[in-house]
Amino acid sequence: LNVSGNTSLKEHLSVGEAATVRETLSVGDATIMSSTLSVGKSVTASETLSVGGNSTLTGALAVVGATTLSNTLNISGNTFLHEHLSVGESARVRETLSVGDATVMSSTLSVGEAVTASETLSVGGNSTLSGALAVVGATTLSNTLNISGNTTLHEHLSVGESARIQE
């Protein structure tokens, strides 16, 4: 069958084997495909794309606008965020968290195990240590030292100016 020019079919069209459309195929209503759809080049969807089952993308996925994910996001490879990350509730990191620049925390920092600071630790306000404080190197206190319990010095005591001992 060779048809040229505009053709209109008023009933169903059934093709038993492969069909080739050499130019644009325009479908004015819903289309149902009961097998695989294979497209050789890019696809443009002018409105919402709805997929009822799982989807597999074998190339890169580029999303230009805002994206909403309504369930779990599972990423199995490295992830790079080139700008801000905002987490609305809690975040859990199973292994090492590495931060390459300054970090600002606006509330309490709670650490469940030991903390190691490789450089200077600076605390802007008062500090309370509820356990023993062990200082291994030299220590400089630049203001008044108040001790409310017993004090034991295991080595020499050197006082630069005056000392007052009260009982």
**Residue 22 has which token pair?**
């050499």
44 pLDDT band (50/70/90 cuts)? confident
DSSP per-residue letters across 95-146: S-----S----SS----SS----SS----SS-----S-----S-----S---
What's the pTM value of the predicted model, to 2 decimals? 0.46
pLDDT in tens, 3-16: 888 888 888 888 88
∠ CA 122-126-130, nearest 5°, is 100
pLDDT digits (tens, 9 = 90+) for 116-143: 888 888 888 898 888 888 989 999 888 8
**Does the pLDDT of residue 1 top 80, yes or no?**
no
- The 10s digit of each residue's pLDDT in 100-118 is 888 888 888 888 899 888 8
Q: What is the pLDDT of residues 47-89, one digit of tens each?
A: 888 888 898 888 898 989 999 988 898 988 898 888 888 888 8
8-state DSSP, 88 = S
**Mean pLDDT for the stretch of residues 37-48:** 87
- Per-residue model confidence (pLDDT) at position 35: 87
35: tokens are: 């097998």
- Contact partners, residue 136, CB within 8 Å, separation at least 6: none
